[in-house]
Amino acid sequence: MLDIKTVREREQDVRDGLKKRGSQYKLDEVIELDRKRRSLLTEVEALKRQRNTVSMEIGKLKKSGANTSDQEKAMREVGDRIGALDEEVRKVDGEMEQRLLLIPNMPHSSVPPGADASGNQVVRTWGTPRKFEFKPCDHIQLGERLGILDMARATRMTGAGFPLFLGPGARLERALIQFMLDLHTREHGYTEMSPPFLCNEAAMTGTGQLPRLAEDMYCCTKDGLYLIPTAEVPVTNYYREETIARPMPVYLTAYTPCFRREAGAAGKDTRGLLRVHQFDKVEMVKFVEPDKSYDELEKLVANAEDVLQKLGIAYRVLLLCAGDMSSAAAKCYDLEIWAAGRNDWLEVSSCSNFEAYQSRRAGIRYKRADGKTELVHTLNGSGVALARLMVAILENNQEADGSITLPKAIVPYMGGIERIEAQI
């Protein structure tokens, strides 16, 4: 979140940032609340000074035997007024905090303007999409024919948008998770974490999912816990309301299932694994010094790219425009992989620098070399999401007989299995 001091002192910059995003956020309402709050505080402080001065005078008058009933009555009225004003300040504070939580982050100067995905810029590409001598099938046809994907039974037991993998399909998903965790911990310097899969409201608010994305969350209403939409939530909140004592930067990675209602996804392609409500993901999270966060963002993107390169999947890197970024991000890259059966690019990772937007909400600081504490910058990226990665592996590596040749990097994790063939 942005603090009110930033809004007050850099009002035009904030307005320019909102305009660049195409945001309809009503900044004037926050500014008016801030003015009201400061006016109330000025009145409260004046009354308190008056009360202190008169109280001293009453003490002197009492010592001289004078009647102070009128002054004492006046001070009781002043006390009542102070109490009423303090209550009003608390209400204004609460309203202001809720409004500040909804202000999107300011886009970095390098972020291009644009209202939607059409304004995104392709930064680079890697690999060449495979050319087939036959018409490639999509992942649904392949998965069902091979007996490794059963969306129909999953729908019957839970509902649409929840996948079910079988046999080599389930093993492939598990193998990919292990492969990515090993890569990030052994080669990229991350520490593995196994976090809870549910978080409370404070944790969800700390990373920016609440209150803005409440309709997309799965909430256990009895105890107020939320199924996590991404490991970003528990991993980032690992340091909530703390000052990080260990040297910067801190790299953490975790596998978790992820749960999203995606209430706003009406009209989008929801077939098969393209847009599901439950999916597995390996996440990377960084806590870094502010002056190094944009260098760290480029390294984060490279870590995600390394996964795709080792799996031999053609991809492209997009720099998102201001209007297509999440509200919490100051700058974001998307990685999109090629899916032959669909003949399209699929987003498989978003890598974002949030600057101090999350750390301010969650109260995460670090100790600088001079001993002072400062809000840390947080970054996170998918490294990578499994559902669409499975789509690409199935569709890009299919053979004419319907079998799937597995990427060489994953074969050791599959116990030496090089090909998935139809299950009897």
Q: Where are the alpha helices (DSSP H) in 64-138?
A: 69-101
286 is a domain residue: yes
97 is a domain residue: yes
pLDDT band at 44 (very low <50, low <70, confident <90, very high): very high
pLDDT at 293 over 60: yes
Rounded CA-CA distance 286/355 in Å is 11
Residues 151 and 176 in one domain: yes
- The stretch 340-352 carries a mean pLDDT of 96
Please state the separation of Cα 196 from the chain's center in Å: 16
161 is a domain residue: yes
Rounded CA-CA distance 28/49 in Å is 32
Residues 406 and 288 in one domain: yes
| CA-based radius of gyration for the chain | 27
pLDDT band at 262 (very low <50, low <70, confident <90, very high): confident
Residues 207 and 87 in one domain: no
Rounded CA-CA distance 410/311 in Å is 7
pLDDT at 270 over 80: no
Other beta carbons within 10 angstroms of residue 28's beta carbon come to 9
Rounded CA-CA distance 349/301 in Å is 9
Q: What is the DSSP letter of 91?
A: H
- The stretch 308-332 carries a mean pLDDT of 98
Q: What CATH number is given to the structural domain containing 311?
A: 3.30.930.10
Cβ-contact 323, 124 below 8 angstroms: no
Give the list of residues 6+ apart from residue 358 with CB closer than 8 angstroms, or none: 206, 207, 208, 236, 328, 364, 378
3-state SS, residue 127:
coil
Span between the terminal Cα atoms of the chain, in Å: 55
User: Between residues 384 and 262, which one has the greater pLDDT?
Assistant: 384
Rounded CA-CA distance 281/384 in Å is 6
pLDDT at 267 over 60: no
pLDDT at 268 over 70: no
pLDDT at 423: 66
Q: What CATH number is given to the structural domain containing 13?
A: 1.10.287.40
Of all residues in the chain, the percent with pLDDT exceeding 90 is 92
Residues 61 and 192 in one domain: no
pLDDT at 265 over 60: no
Give the list of residues 6+ apart from residue 105 with CB closer than 8 angstroms, or none: 2, 17, 327, 328, 329, 330, 354, 355, 357
pLDDT at 263 over 80: no
167 is a domain residue: yes
Q: Is 35 exposed, middle or buried (0-12, 13-18, 19+ CB in 10 A)?
A: exposed
Domain-terminating residue out of 66, 101, 136? 101
pLDDT band at 269 (very low <50, low <70, confident <90, very high): low
Ordered strands of the 242-244 beta sheet: 242-244, 364-367, 373-375
- The stretch 186-207 carries a mean pLDDT of 97
Rounded CA-CA distance 51/58 in Å is 10
Residues 142 and 290 in one domain: yes
pLDDT at 249 over 90: yes
Cβ-contact 54, 62 below 8 angstroms: no
Residues 202 and 330 in one domain: yes
Q: Where are the alpha helices (DSSP H) in 201-276?
A: 201-207, 232-236
Residues 122 and 92 in one domain: no
pLDDT band at 363 (very low <50, low <70, confident <90, very high): very high
Cβ-contact 258, 281 below 8 angstroms: yes
Residues 47 and 157 in one domain: no
pLDDT at 326 over 90: yes
Domain-terminating residue out of 101, 126, 159? 101
Residues 347 and 391 in one domain: yes
108 is a domain residue: no
Q: Which residues span the domain enclosing 55?
A: 4-101
pLDDT at 266: 52
172 is a domain residue: yes
Residue 274 identity (one-letter amino acid): L
Residues 276 and 213 in one domain: yes
pLDDT band at 284 (very low <50, low <70, confident <90, very high): very high
The model's pLDDT over 50-107, given as tens digits with 9 standing for 90+, comes to 999 999 999 999 999 899 989 999 999 999 999 999 999 999 999 999 999 999 999 9
110 is a domain residue: no
Domain-terminating residue out of 76, 101, 126? 101
Number of domains present in the structure of the chain: 2
Rounded CA-CA distance 153/157 in Å is 6
Cβ-contact 315, 346 below 8 angstroms: no
Average pLDDT, the chain: 95
Residues 97 and 133 in one domain: no
Give the list of residues 6+ apart from residue 161 with CB closer than 8 angstroms, or none: 262, 270, 275, 276, 277, 278
Residues 271 and 408 in one domain: yes
112 is a domain residue: no
The model's pLDDT over 103-146, given as tens digits with 9 standing for 90+, comes to 999 999 999 999 999 999 999 999 999 999 999 999 999 999 99
Query: Model's pTM, two decimal places?
Result: 0.92
pLDDT band at 221 (very low <50, low <70, confident <90, very high): confident
Residue 195 identity (one-letter amino acid): P
